[in-house]
Amino acid sequence: MALTNAQYNQIMHVYDVRRMKDALHLEARKKDAYQKLPELKALEASVRAEAGRTLQLMREGQKGELRNLKDHIRAIGEEKKELLVRNGFPADYLEMQYTCPDCQDTGFIGGEKCHCFKKMQMQFIYQQSHLGRIVRTQNFDHFDLTRFDDRELIDGAGGKTNRQYMAEVRNLLLDWTQNFDERHGNVILMGNPGTGKTFLINCVAKALMDSYHSVIYFTSTDLFDSFSRALRHDVEEQEETEDAILNCDLLVIDDLGTEMNNSYTTSRLFYVLNQRMVLHKSVMISTNLNFRAMQDRYSDRIVSRIMAEYDYIPLYGVDQRLR
């Protein structure tokens, strides 16, 4: 799914408004033209009368007469255009003027999304993700491996330097995004502060959003705050919040473990992880905690879900933000 239900409905509402404005503008142009060129209205009436006859000829199967009638209607149409042009109007002044002529402001061409729909879709996805500005610089194209040490081998990385290891992680996540529709799956990044977890998350988010996937990013604190805020508002807002969190293509939970820990956050976290697993929706988590610390903080069923269902990627090295 490229959009949540709420996002899709918002975009389709934009097209509804566009078509309504298209019709209102056409009526205004007709009123203007008829007032200045009374003979134009007579030609329009003639076209409508002749068009009514086409249905009768079609039913009667009079193909020759039908061809003649259509030629006559086209001739009247040309006469209208000539009249408009002679009096300083564009030839198409009395035709519907669309914001997007390709799809005629429906958003679709032959059942496929129009380029204007895709452009709007991308704008909505970036806006909803909370990542629009930051991913301009934090993406795979700006992934600078030279920031990572290439002198010493690191423990737990299979005899690699941190630079060699991070190159593998980058390629692994890039491949995951490129094959996202087939693989889905979940990822958890674990490591000390400043080892590149959030940067990698933003790289993945940018790549997926550029391929028209919906990505919702939350810090762990913001995730639970969003549920709390929705509960204080109407049912519709609660449903929209839950729909976005549960049905987006990728839900990102950054800095898991920094939120206030209580029974509410624990129950909400289990609900989100479990429901997205049931719906076969992907989650990407970053945390400074290791699995033992997670077991101390959260319920066993949350940790067991993550250990069983998530690809674990540890990150190493010094805090890059201090370099």
Written as one letter, the residue type at 114 is C
Reading the block at residue 298, the tokens are: 């959260």
Place of tokens 């290791």: 290
Q: At what angle do helices 162-178 and 197-210 cross, to 10 degrees?
A: 30
pLDDT of residue 321: 62
Where do the structural domains in the chain lie, given as residue ranges?
A: 5-109, 130-322
Residues sharing a CB contact under 8 Å with residue 108, sequence separation 6 or more, in sequence order: 114, 117
Written as one letter, the residue type at 98 is Y
pLDDT of residue 1: 37
Give the C-alpha distances (Å, rounded to integers) separating 254 from 128, 217, 276, 322.
16, 8, 16, 20
At residue 153's C-alpha, the angle toward residues 151 and 154, to 5°, is 125
Task: Report CA Rg, the chain.
Answer: 29
pLDDT of residue 307: 92
Residues sharing a CB contact under 8 Å with residue 282, sequence separation 6 or more, in sequence order: 180, 184, 185, 186, 187, 249, 250, 251, 276
List, for residues 47-74, the tens digit of each pLDDT value.
666 666 666 666 666 666 667 666 766 7
Reading the block at residue 96, the tokens are: 């519907």
Relative to beta strand 112-113, strand 108-109 is antiparallel
Written as one letter, the residue type at 278 is V
pLDDT of residue 286: 96
CATH topology classification for 130-322: Rossmann fold (3.40.50)
pLDDT of residue 2: 47
Are 170 and 313 spatial neighbours (Cβ–Cβ below 8 Å)? no
The 10 Å Cβ neighbour count of residue 124 is: 19
Q: Which residues of the chain have pLDDT under 70?
A: 1-4, 47-66, 68-70, 72-73, 122-123, 125-130, 132, 230-238, 240, 319-323
